[in-house]
Amino acid sequence: MFKNEDAGSKAEQTRAQIRDVALTSFRNQGFDATTMRQVAKEAGVSLGNAYYYFPTKNHLVQELYIEVQLAHRAAAEPRLAETDDLIARLGAVFQTGLAQLVPFHDYSTGFLTAMVAPNSPLNPMSPESKPARDMIVGLFREALDGARQSLPSEIAPRMPHALWLAHLLMCLFWSYDRSPGQRNTARLVDTGLRLFKAALPFLRVPVVRTPLRTLLDLVGEVGA
């Protein structure tokens, strides 16, 4: 019994070591320069052992997705606790999400190249990316649910997924943004939130609400 527990503990430690080395390499060197051979060497394990725990480099990137989203939630929740204003809460989610990507800006091209193919497991809309995707959709849902301004009942449950897709577009813009500190992206987020605030009263108008619901249903099929 104890031998099995020790073996399980050692396996978990080995997996964690490989994972930690890979995530550090992704941050410091980017996607292209990180190889399974290099990760195995720095983790002190054989290449075969590294492949046993992570069959491809893509599996390690999925670990990165999860880590980034955990950090995103940890950064967003204190700001969400400070306000019940809808726009401020959405701003907190967008802003803290982009902040988690800062270490990867210089290497964003490599990640984008790997992610852009529709059938790539690294595509944010792929089945493999669902755990990370669910985390950020859930964070947007939390931001909406805790706001004093409520959305129409048929719009509210459809909005978190649409906001996630908007966040993806912001991330894409950010990856190409070469302005100092990516301030153009920050301006885009602020402008988008102001437009959303201005549009809120119209969401309760039937002539707007019905086609919007249809549009959100279509958006919801992306990555579902």
Q: What confidence category does residue 3 fall into, taking pLDDT thresholds of 50, 70 and 90?
A: very low
**Torsional sign, CA 53, 58, 59, 65:** positive
Q: What confidence category does residue 182 fall into, taking pLDDT thresholds of 50, 70 and 90?
A: very high
Q: Which CATH superfamily is domain 1-54 in?
A: Homeodomain-like (1.10.10.60)
What pLDDT is attached to residue 18? 93
For residue 55, the 8-state DSSP code is S
Place of tokens 């990760």: 39
For residue 152, the 8-state DSSP code is P
Task: Report pLDDT digits (tens) over 35-66.
Answer: 999 999 999 999 999 999 998 888 898 988 99
Domain boundaries in the chain? 1-54, 56-220
Q: What confidence category does residue 6 fall into, taking pLDDT thresholds of 50, 70 and 90?
A: low
Q: Tell me which H or E stretch contains 179.
A: none
The fold adopted by the segment(s) 56-220 is Tetracycline Repressor; domain 2 (1.10.357)
Instruction: Enter the tokens of residue 50.
Output: 């590294």
Helix and strand totals (H; E) in the chain: 10, 0
Task: Report pLDDT digits (tens) over 106-125.
Answer: 888 888 888 888 888 889 98
What pLDDT is attached to residue 221? 81
- Cβ partners under 8 Å of residue 209, min gap 6: 152, 154, 155, 203
Instruction: Enter the tokens of residue 69.
Output: 């989203």
The rounded distance, in Å, linking the Cα atoms of 116 and 177 is 18
Q: What confidence category does residue 1 fall into, taking pLDDT thresholds of 50, 70 and 90?
A: very low
What pLDDT is attached to residue 8? 61
Domains 1-54 and 56-220 share a fold: no
Burial of residue 10, with CB atoms counted within 10 A of its CB: 0-12 exposed, 13-18 middle, 19 or more buried: exposed
